[in-house]
Amino acid sequence: MATKNNKIEVERIVIKFAGDSGDGMQLSGTQFSDVAAILGNDLATFPDFPSEIRAPQGTIAGVSGFQVHIGHADIHTSGDMADVLVALNPAALEYNLKHVKPGGTIVVDSDSFTAKAFKKAKLDTNRLEDGSLDGFIVIEAPVTTQCRLTLKETGLDSKTIDKTRNQFITGLLAYMFNRDIKLSEDFITNKFAKKPSIAEANIKILRAGYNFADTIEVLSTTYIVNPNENKSGKYRNITGNTATAWGLMAAAEKSGLNFFLGSYPITPATDILSELSKHKSLNIKTFQAEDEIAGINSAIGAAYAGNMAATTTSGPGLSLKSEALGLAFITELPLVIVNVMRGGPSTGLPTKTEQTDLLQSLWGRNGEAPIPVIAASSPSDCFDYAFAASKMAVEHMTPVILHTDSYLGNGSGLWKLPKMEDMPTITPIIAKPNSNYMPFERDENLVRTWAHPGVEGNEHRVGGLEKLNGKGSVSHDPKNHALMTKLRAEKVNKISDSYPKQEVYGDQEGDLLVVGWGSSYGVLFDAFTEVKEKGAKIGFTNFNYIFPLPNETADIFKKYKKILVCELNSGQFANYLSYSLPEFKYDKYNKVEAQPFMVSELKEKFNEILEAK
């Protein structure tokens, strides 16, 4: 039998925080994640919340959640099933119970399990009493009562006091996982630096939760997750949107160009605009436009004026920007378009994740207008691919679309702080004064030279009408149009010569090649690894460079008997591959539930195909 304070070391742990949108579950999840990062754990997070600003309280539709996966081992996903579920009301428990591991721990605020709460959640049974939780360790904590007793003498109103419940849970978990409570106190102090009375109240509740956990017998066993020793150097916990913003800034510095962002706020991309707006001291200019069209047009104007320019959006905004994208393409100006994908169509599911904008980014323009498309794989490598997109745009004089998504943008992971001197150079091809400049004269890579307005002797015109090859005057000549169309397409296709080699994990030839793109990397990698460890002849490759495809793609594909393309849509990348490389047959595994893949469902699919060979 376990004794009090029996400590068990575990490789990894998954915790799901769930409650109403106003219960502070996102804050507690972020707080727990930051502490884990400080203590050296690897981690990945997944915020999951309703799109309504005021979601209906107490209902299953209004449940807000935050999942964090921390580990001594390397972490690639936010986890499948939760080891610990925190449910601050019956709806949160009902919605998430199916995602808790058998024998897992469930922490509830027992004060919230009332007849009124059951009615709101449309439940006709109390799971704390009907035996349905018998296979779990259940901690029934009177969180609301404890918070009100602890803060009774502070003079705070009951509404403010009830908002501290998340800190009671955070304190309880700090005890359960042997976390230094001082780190959580520091988080609160910094979070509420301008409201010291609120900070003090939350710290009191944090300690109350810790002390409560120390007194209840059900927590006779606590857990230790040791630091990840594979990660040396200086790391921080970072969201994908913040990493994207910093990648754009790093690229501007390496290129020696001023930076301009023209954007309209849209979920889930707004945080990129917000983050960049904080850095005026680094000569970062941000413009919050009146709409999506104004956002991209202002960025095109900034690019024409000689700035590194970008615009950020999500699926509906990308639709609105499509005409201006054609203008950026025909003028051959450098521009980065960041598309943080979300569930659609139309307004769809603004706070949920999908990979459903791929075909729009590939072909969603009038005329022949091929634009490079790349995609990030993790919250931390949003930095790398924002940098790569910027380098590609500037050095090849083309707009570039960078895909992230809600899972990456709002999620977080450990990011190793780079040294600027170690990052690749970015070399703009800028015309010198009085250089007999012709706006559409090209180098060996078919890239035109960039002349900034006001430079002596380099007066020129660019615009949306077709231009005469080399000179740039308006031309309606059919043969010239055919030539310019060919040259622009060939320029984009030649970009694949600059790609890094497409990496294949596992067997370099075999029975099955698993193919993913963008944010599917982490969960596909874990599922592939577990199947590979059972002896399967299986390989895995994840595409970050989507259009044009890496040059070696066909050579990779021909080495496998079967190719399975997995993506969070109805088969867009698989269809694109069928169009681009029709000599191969592609099996598909698709999920369109506005939720990421789970390792378990992918393993089941991989094994099904392998067993059918």
End-to-end alpha carbon distance in the chain: 48
- Please state, in angstroms and rounded to a whole number, the distance separating the CA atoms of residues 425 and 132: 60
How many CA atoms are closer than 13 Å to the CA of 224, on its beta-carbon side? Answer: 7
Same domain, 220 and 243: no
- Please state, in angstroms and rounded to a whole number, the distance separating the CA atoms of residues 147 and 141: 11
Domain of residue 563, CATH code: 3.40.50.920
What pLDDT was estimated at residue 331?
97
Number of compact structural domains in the chain: 3
Query: At which of 224, 248, 270 does a domain end?
Result: 224
Q: Which of 187, 210, 231, 223 is nearest to 42 (CA)?
A: 231
CA distances (Å), origin 16, targets 81, 82, 100, 166: 9, 6, 9, 13
Query: At which of 377, 400, 422 does a domain end?
Result: 422
Within 412-520, where are the H helices?
Answer: 478-493
The order of strands in the sheet holding 235-239 is 137-141, 100-109, 82-87, 12-20, 63-71, 42-48, 412-416, 235-239
pLDDT in tens, 245-303: 999 999 999 999 999 999 999 999 999 999 999 999 999 999 999 999 999 999 999 99
Cis peptide preceding 548, ω within 30 of 0: yes
Of all residues in the chain, the percent with pLDDT exceeding 90 is 93
Q: Taking the mean position of all CA atoms in its chain, how far away is CA 491? A: 30
Q: Once rounded to an integer, what is the mean pLDDT over residues 530-557?
A: 98
| 492 domain residue, yes or no | no
Same domain, 339 and 220: no
| 13 domain residue, yes or no | yes
Of all residues in the chain, the percent with pLDDT exceeding 70 is 99
- Please state, in angstroms and rounded to a whole number, the distance separating the CA atoms of residues 31 and 27: 6
Say whether pLDDT at 2 is over 50.
no
| 229 domain residue, yes or no | no
What pLDDT was estimated at residue 467?
95
Same domain, 203 and 244: no
What pLDDT was estimated at residue 260?
98
Domain of residue 336, CATH code: 3.40.50.970
Query: Which pair of tokens denotes residue 240?
Result: 């994908």
Same domain, 328 and 367: yes
- Please state, in angstroms and rounded to a whole number, the distance separating the CA atoms of residues 338 and 328: 14
What pLDDT was estimated at residue 613?
63
| 599 domain residue, yes or no | yes
| 449 domain residue, yes or no | no
Determine how many CB atoms are found less than 10 A away from the CB of residue 3: 7
Structural domain for 148, as ranges: 6-224
Question: If 0-12 CB within 10 Å is exposed, 13-18 middle and 19+ buried, where does residue 71 land?
Answer: buried
What confidence tier does 3 reach under pLDDT thresholds 50, 70, 90?
very low
| 438 domain residue, yes or no | no
| 281 domain residue, yes or no | yes
Query: At which of 387, 422, 457 does a domain end?
Result: 422
pLDDT in tens, 124-145: 999 999 999 999 999 999 999 9
Same domain, 212 and 91: yes
Same domain, 514 and 564: yes
Same domain, 177 and 317: no
pLDDT in tens, 410-458: 999 999 999 999 999 999 999 999 999 999 999 999 999 999 999 999 9
- Please state, in angstroms and rounded to a whole number, the distance separating the CA atoms of residues 256 and 428: 9
Same domain, 80 and 220: yes
pLDDT in tens, 484-512: 999 999 999 999 999 999 999 999 999 99
Same domain, 345 and 198: no
Domain of residue 181, CATH code: 3.40.920.10
Whether 70 contacts 82, CB under 8 Å: no
- Please state, in angstroms and rounded to a whole number, the distance separating the CA atoms of residues 513 and 537: 9
What pLDDT was estimated at residue 430?
96
What confidence tier does 363 reach under pLDDT thresholds 50, 70, 90?
very high
Same domain, 144 and 113: yes
Task: Please write down the HEC assignment for all residues of 534-545.
Answer: CCCCEEEEEECE
What pLDDT was estimated at residue 231?
82
